[in-house]
Structure 1
Amino acid sequence: MNAPRDGLLRIVLAHRWRVLATVVLLLATMLAGVGLLAVSGGFLTAAALAVGGIAGGFNLFMPSAGIRGLTAARIVSRYGEKLVGHDATLRIARDLRLWFVRRALPLAPARLGALRTGDLVARLVSDIEAVDGLLVRALGPLVALMAMGVAAIGVAALLHPPAGGLLAALAFVVGVAVPLVVALGRQRQEHRRAGIRGRLRTLAYEGLEGAGDLAALDAGGLWAARVQAEAGALADADARRRRRLTAGQALHALAVAAGLVGMLWVVAGAAHAGTLAPATAAALFFLTVAVLEIWAGVGAAWQALQAGLASLQRVRAIAGQPVPVQDPDVPQALPAGPQPLRVENLRFAWPGAERPALDGVDLELRPGERIALCGDSGSGKSTLSALLLRLWDPAAGRVSYGGVDLRDVAQADWHARIAWLPQNAPVFAGSVRENLALGDPAADAEAMWAVLRRVRLDATVEAIGGLDAWVGENGATLSGGQGRRLALARALLKPAELMVLDEPTEGLDHPTADALLRDLAQALDGRSLVLITHGRLPPGLVQRVHRVEEGRLAAAPAPGEDALPDGT
């Protein structure tokens, strides 16, 4: 059994008693309802016969006590089933989302980078919502319905075997045959519906995120048309779903009508022949009415099961991907303090690529040294940074720190020694303090203000209300340069020996980018730096510049040549 299945199984087992209690309470509610209608029907029939002088004796107290007891039991069990069932569903939903995030985080950004954010949100919200109801809304009711049917058939067979046989036949038709006929082809349709729902959520999310760009390009109408098309496709899928459910209900109604006529014929004939007491015959008929009414829920349970299974496959398509980096069984410890970082004869190809992204790369970064990697888009710069961060492992060669191969080190231990500022580093919704605390949760206010001064953002933060000022979604209250400086401050606050910056000035105007890079050299405080860029660098920021060309490192510029030439 693979890891995702193991994780799901652990979630189910963790809540097995709540799920079992929900099924038991649901079964108790069903049995109480069936028993209540059967006893009431027999009681009323016996009373009518006694009043008419047809029956000689009439027991008033036992049936009335049974009716009151079953009524109370049904109320209590139904309340308990709703209470426990909702509690189990919410707990399972919580644990499923945590499981999904824990499985997805190690895949980012290596494997999740190609996925759209809206699609991930759809799987995290809509699909997991369908999955978390599998036990309580689908499997639980189906188990309870089956147990209730077995009990009802057993009672009917005990009272009158022909009635039990007929009820068993009705159980097969209503509980198995009709749902199977309705379910033919439904799994494929549920997969298609889940896909449409994910695309619609993605379009809505990306449309809101890019509303400004769509307005500037006058493309809002085109985007709205795409949203409308997907919404129409989802409405069509929902309509087909409802038609199938309606068809199932119609088939169910026909089977129920035929079954009730058949049961009436069986019990009435037995009562007329004197082999079955009239009150018992009435009780069997009303028992059949109650059972068939409850079995109407089989279709909805089957539909919830199919939708949940389709969503489960979509969730597993993300969470079931293999992690690109596996920690060794016995991780080796990294040496303490700053150490040289070496790249030796490195070779790497992306999955499915025909040629390697890096081939024969050699590089050394001494403690406290600052280097820049430049090159055209697609030359291999970001691939090299991914290997330095150990988001992927090389196909050949090695990356070592202090002489220790990073493949022999726990990924978390290596990441603790690195501060990474990715291209388009996000500013998270929250306060300035909360954003900075991501770099070092133990940092106090004094340390935060110190790093803000180093990136010349302290005056801005004071003006907007201090460390507890709200920065908005994606740093909406800050300018682009201010948001980038806040992200840089977050990285600088991390007590790491090596900084890897990937296009830190991307999207900034030249004066803002130049000011940010000029502040960087002093802000590093002697830490090593790998700067990935395609723009000019101010003098004194780096000691060496390497150019990446077709997966290889070109010769470094002459000593003292601190700036990249134009056009790189």
Structure 2
Amino acid sequence: MSTPRIHTPRTDSLRGVFARHRGRLLLTVLLLWITMLAGTALLGLSGGFLTAAALAGAAGLGSGFNFFSPSAGIRGLTMARIASRYFEKLVGHDVTLRIARDLRVWFFRRALPLAPARLAGVRTGELLARLMSDIGEVDGLLVRAIGPLLALGGISLVAVVSAALIHPPAALLLSVLALLIGIGVPWLTVRGAGGEERDRAWHRAQLRAQAFEGLEGAADLTALQAREHWNQRVLVAAKQLKSRDRRRRWRLIGGNALHGLCAAAGLLAMVWVALLGFQRGALDAAMAAALVFLTVALLELWAGIGLAWQSWLSGRVAAVRLEQIVEQAPGVAEPRDPVPLPAEAALLSVEHVTFQWPGQARRVLDEVQLQLRPGERIAIRGDSGSGKTTLSSLLLRLWDPASGYVRYGGVDIRQFSQAEWHRQIAWLPQNAPVFAGSIADNLRLGDPQASDAQLWQVLTDVRLEAWADQLGGLHAWVGENGATMSAGQARRLALARALLRGSPILLLDEPTDGLDMDTAHALLHDMVAALGGRSLLMISHDVLPEGIVHRSYRLREGRLG
């Protein structure tokens, strides 16, 4: 059998989301560095100035003391710190919000093509956890990790160079402290914590999944008197996550305690180096005091480096979890050179199609053959699990058959662009959702450009015009999951959305499931009247009334008869 050439489409990466904002990221780091530099220089200059002023006053040397230059420097550094701090917060939060927006768009853009083939095995709560918790960890990397670490590295380098110009032994001591506190202590704090962070992220996702599924299934849990049991499961998951959080906090507390010991020892060592330098005449009292105050400022800045490293580790774990979802290969591949679709409605044929799910030997479909002519209506019946929904997935090209062909107008649908092929089919799934929004919002998912007149016409076609008018018109709110609608009304609204799409083929999967017989038959007759010349392939296990379809087949054990 001939197979069309396929290729993997060029897609952006997680790193590319940050790269698009590199200008604002660099500006934020620069402003943060300026803020740290101004604060450190301010403390060092103030300490040296106050020491020199005290010594000058005690010695009666007020007439020769330079008061104006240091005080002007202090005022300038204060204003610089205030200004840089303001703009650092402004730019930093702006770019963080932009990254948060783009990360969610990126995740949806990469994940949606994987549905349902690759996402079928992932719990909805797990996806929700990755969308909320993991993206939250990643989009805060700038303000919690990347910015502070880069700025601290830059300010440490400037401080060491400045200290070397004043007193080289002090620069050597600052270098040792920078390596010890900036790298050694964080390494000891986060050493081996990668596995713990992955475990914590997993338990966080489990708690979200349990809570989400409990809310989604609240009605069933109440009916089965299982709410208390489920609440206990959520409580257990919360306690397990709490123990991981407590372990993480103790690790950070241990790192802070170790940092404090190193800082105290380092400060005493700098006092000793400064006094020794003053005693030997290598530097005056003001410079000696400036070195001590410079060390105090650096130690204060370095206090947050452990938390920054921890945030970096958490962000890396979250990024890996996101990429585990979106880096999966799609269930089907796009053709390298798509073939244009026929200009007019054409024959849809299923030829000797065989399919089994990955990793399973049983054939769900076995040598299935079917033809759907333009304007023809066909029903495929069968028991649950007989392969009806699988056949609809192949027609939608959510999967490709293991052997055989699905052709449209004589062309294998694998040679069409997926987007173009999906425009040929209006699909009404078994559990077609009604989204939180207005009637018009739900309908325009079928055709975003539809006019109000077209919306009213399609509502008339499915006998929902009076209901919509009574509710308040096209802009009336229907509630989440159609909370303000009956099951029949929700199904009719979903059918109207599919009809509005205007595709030449309408594919319905159990359109009357859950409806009483009278409602179901009324819905089917209205649908046939609204079809016009479009083709219909309906998958159902119900007995259909006369006149709904031209031909009916039954699917048994993967074979169509």
Give the letter aligned to residue 50 of structure 1.
A
2-structure distance, mates of 1:5, 1:424 = 31
Aligned to 1:560: none
Match of 2:136 among 129, 136, 151: 129
2:383 matched residue in structure 1 = 376
1:25 aligns with 2:53: no
Query: What is the aligned counterpart of 1:8 among 14, 18, 39?
Result: 14
Residue 438 in structure 1 maps to residue 464 in structure 2: no
CA 1:433 to 1:21, structure 2 compared with 1: closer, same or farther past 3 Å? same
2:523 matched to 1:545? no
- Once the two structures are TM-superposed, the CA of residue 514 in structure 1 deviates from its matched residue by 2.4
Is residue 279 of structure 2 the alignment partner of residue 255 of structure 1? no
SS in 1 for 2:59: coil
Contact 2:197 2:314 in 1 (8 A): yes
Q: Which moved more, 1:293-302 or 1:358-367?
A: 358-367
2:153 equivalent among 146, 150, 165: 146
Q: Secondary structure at the match of 2:334?
A: coil
Contact 1:3 1:320 in 2 (8 A): no
Q: TM-score, normalised by structure 2?
A: 0.96
CA displacement 1:495-525 (0-9 Å, x = unmatched): 1100110111122222222222232222221
Aligned to 2:45: 39
- Contact 1:23/1:140, CA 8 A, preserved across alignment: yes
Deviations 1:72-101 (A, max 9, x none): 111111111100000000001111111111
1:277 pairs, out of 277, 280, 284, with 284
- Amino acid in the other structure paired with 2:326: A
Q: How does 1:8-157 map to 2 (within 5 A)?
A: 8-53=14-59, 57-157=64-164
Task: Give the match for residue 170 of structure 2.
Answer: 163
Corresponding position of 2:196: 189
Q: Is the contact between residue 437 and residue 479 of structure 2 (CA under 8 Å) also seen in structure 1? A: yes
The question of whether the paired residues in 1 share the 8 Å contact of 2:9 and 2:334 is answered with no
Matching residue's letter, 1:39: L
1:375–1:533 Cα contact (<8 Å) kept: yes
1:511 aligns with 2:543: no
- Percent identity of equivalent pairs: 59
> How far does residue 54 in structure 1 lie from its aligned partner after superposition?
8.2
Distance in 2, Cα, partners of 1:252 & 1:509: 70
The answer to whether the aligner puts 1:200 opposite 2:207 as a matched pair is yes
Change (3 A) 1:328 1:55: farther
Judging changes above 3 Å, is the alpha-carbon distance between structure 1 residues 361 and 3 closer, same or farther for their aligned structure 2 residues?
closer
**C-alpha displacement of 1:533:** 1.0
Amino acid at match of 1:354: A
- Counterpart residue identity of residue 24, structure 2: R
Mapped to 2, the partners of 1:30 and 1:323 lie a distance apart of 47
The structure-2 alpha-carbon separation of the partners of 1:192 and 1:258, relative to structure 1 and needing over 3 Å to count, comes to: same
Q: Distance in 2 between matches of 1:63 and 1:453?
A: 82
The count of residues paired between Structure 1 and Structure 2 equals 553
Deviates more, 1:208-217 or 1:94-103: 208-217
Residues 4 and 320 of structure 1 are in contact (CA less than 8 Å); yes or no, is this contact kept in structure 2?
no
**Which residue of structure 2 aligns with residue 558 of structure 1?**
none
Q: Distance in 2 between matches of 1:428 and 1:112?
A: 21
Structure 2 portions without partners, runs of 5+: 1-7
Q: Which amino acid letter does the alignment assign opposite residue 43 of structure 1?
A: F
The amino acid that maps onto 1:128 is I
Deviation of 1:463 after TM superposition, in Å, equals 1.9
Offset of residue 174 of structure 1: 0.4
Question: Shift of residue 3 of structure 1?
Answer: 7.9
Contact 1:343 1:364 in 2 (8 A): yes
Q: CA deviation at 1:360?
A: 1.6
Helix, strand or coil: the match of 1:360?
strand
- Residues 135-144 or 296-305, more deviating: 135-144
Instruction: For CA contacts below 8 A with separation 6 or more, give which structure has more relative contact order.
Output: 2
Aligned to 2:536: 529
| Aligned-pair CA distance for 1:55 | 6.9
Q: CA deviation at 1:215?
A: 1.9
1:298 lines up with 2:289 in the alignment: no
Structure 2 CA distance for partners of 1:483 and 1:6, relative to 1, 3 Å: closer
Q: Is the 8 A contact 1:118 1:203 kept in 2?
A: yes
RMSD over equivalenced CA pairs, Å: 1.6
Letter in 2 for 1:333: P
Amino acid of the structure 2 residue aligned with 1:483: A
Q: Tell me the distance in 2 between the aligned counterparts of 1:277 and 1:54.
A: 17
1:391 corresponds to which residue?
398
Q: Secondary structure in 2 aligned to 1:207? A: helix
**Which residue of 1 is the match for residue 345 of structure 2?**
338
Counterpart Cα distance in 1 of 2:182 and 2:61: 37
Call closer, same or farther: CA 1:5–1:244 in 2, change over 3 Å: farther
**Where in structure 2 are the equivalents of 1:459-474 lying within 5 Å?**
459-474=466-481
- Kindly provide the CA deviation profile for residues 191-245 of structure 1, in whole angstroms up to 9, marking residues without a partner as x: 1221222222222222222222222222211111111111112221211111111
Partner of 2:489: 482
Residue 492 of structure 1 pairs with residue 499 of structure 2: yes
- Alignment check: 8 A CA contact 1:19 1:136 kept: no
Which is worse superposed, 531-540 or 18-27? 531-540
Opposite residue 492 of structure 2, the aligned amino acid is R
In the alignment, what sits opposite 1:245?
252
CA distance in 2, matches of 1:105, 1:387: 18
Higher mean C-alpha displacement, 25-34 vs 524-533: 524-533
The whole-number CA distance in structure 2 between the counterparts of 1:457 and 1:67 is 74
Gaps of 5+ in 1: 556-568
Aligned partner of 1:562 in structure 2 is none
**Secondary structure at the counterpart of residue 52 of structure 1:** helix
After TM superposition, the structure 1 stretch with the greater mean CA deviation from structure 2, 503-512 or 483-492, is: 503-512
Task: For residue 253 of structure 1, give the secondary structure of its aligned residue in structure 2.
Answer: helix
Q: Distance between the aligned counterparts of 2:14 and 2:457, measured in 1?
A: 45
Structure-2 change in CA distance of 1:187 and 1:5 (3 Å): farther
Residue deviations 1:333-368, cap 9 Å, x none?
Answer: 011121000111112222222233223221111111
Structure 1 residues 131, 399: closer, same or farther in 2, change over 3 A?
same
Deviation, structure 1 residue 439? 1.1
CA distances 1:298-327 after superposition (whole Å, capped 9, x unpaired): 111111111111111111121111122222
User: One-letter code of the match for 1:44?
Assistant: L
Relative to structure 1, the CA distance from residue 303 to residue 5 in structure 2 (aligned partners, 3 Å threshold; closer, same or farther) is farther
Asked if structure 1 preserves the Cα contact closer than 8 Å seen for 2:275 and 2:288, the reply is yes
1:236 to 243, 258, 264: 243
Aligned to 1:565: none
